Amino acid sequence: MEKPAQNDHPVDGLLVRRWSPRAFSETPVAAESVRSLLEAARWAPSCFNEQPWSFIVATREEPEAFEKLLGCLRATNQAWAQRAAVLMVAVAKGAFDHNGKPNRHAGHDVGLAVENLMLQAVSLGLFAHAMAGFDASKVRESYGVPEGHDPLVAVAVGYPGNLEDLPEEFRERELAPRERKSLGLFVFGPSWGEPWDGLKSHEGEWE
């Protein structure tokens, strides 16, 4: 199942196709493909090229490791993520290596790495679903994550599955149309809250 974006302006096909399903197939994802996802994350831009990301990874082919990471998710996410082929947690390092000062851009940069990973997934016929619903403290304790590192987001990766395999409570969400704010609500020009003039159509209407 795919659910392409109904974009108002032209964007690359990977961006149109990227979305976050909950219906995953239990089909394994080859280790080579997982490495490609992580390589895409590796080449994300970051402040001072600090690369403040780390990834904890488990696949269904490592049952104990998979159950350990699955157990860090909230129960509502476990209900569907248990069918994914790969689970990850992205961790942000909160201070710069070169001077030890706080890196307020770390979360942003980890987000860029995760988005690279998600787009690479689409290019491989996979999908990825990022989750805030996990227990960061449990991740920290279970994996010995050191101080100064923040488990930031969990990610489920796999091939698309059947809607019928989802718990009923999630099926309606899976079929719901994708929505985004219009550009005029968040792209400003002369002052905050005033849309950028470049958003006007030829007819003078705001996009």
In a domain, 87, yes or no: yes
Per-residue pLDDT tens over the stretch 84-101: 999 999 999 999 999 999
Number of domains present in the structure of the chain: 2
Whether residues 42 and 139 fall in one domain: yes
H or E, element range at 58? strand 53-59
What is the pLDDT at residue 204? 54
**Are 86 and 186 in a shared domain?**
no
Which pLDDT does position 168 carry in this prediction?
A: 83
For residues 36 and 124, membership in a common domain is answered with: yes
Neighbours of 203 (CB within 10 A): 5
Shared-domain flag, residues 137 and 203: no
Do both 61 and 21 map to the same domain? yes
Residue 207 near residue 199 (C-beta atoms within 8 A): yes
Task: Evaluate if residue 206 carries a pLDDT over 70.
Answer: no
Does the structure show a pLDDT above 90 at 139? yes
Which CATH number belongs to the domain containing residue 66 in this structure? 3.40.109.10
The whole domain housing 194 covers 181-207
Question: Stretch 155-175: mean pLDDT, rounded?
Answer: 90
| Between 167 and 129, the higher pLDDT residue | 129
| 199 shares a domain with 106 | no
Residue 73 banded pLDDT, cuts 50, 70, 90: very high
Instruction: Kindly report the number of other CB atoms within 10 A of residue 8's CB atom.
Output: 10
Q: Are residues 192 and 153 in the same domain?
A: no
Distance CA 20, CA 4 (A): 11
Q: What is the pLDDT of residue 1?
A: 72
The answer on 139 and 185 residing in a single domain is: no
Answer whether 29's CB lies under 8 Å from 16's CB: no
What tokens were used for 187? Answer: 């792209």
Model confidence at 127, pLDDT cuts 50, 70, 90, reads very high
24 DSSP assignment = B
The yes-or-no verdict on residue 59 having pLDDT over 50 is: yes
In terms of domains, do 52 and 93 share one? yes
The two tokens of residue 192 are 């905050």
Residue 202: pLDDT above 90?
Answer: no
> How confident is the model over 158-173, as a mean pLDDT?
89
Q: Which residue from 203, 178, 130, 207 is spatially nearest to 4, judged by alpha carbons?
A: 178
40 & 91 share domain: yes
**Residue pointed to by tokens 């490791």:** 65
pLDDT at 61 over 70: yes
Cα maximum dimension of the chain: 60
End-to-end CA distance of the chain: 30
Co-location of 59 and 118 in the same domain: yes
When pLDDT is cut at 50, 70 and 90, the band that residue 203 belongs to is very low
Q: Same domain for 153 and 187?
A: no
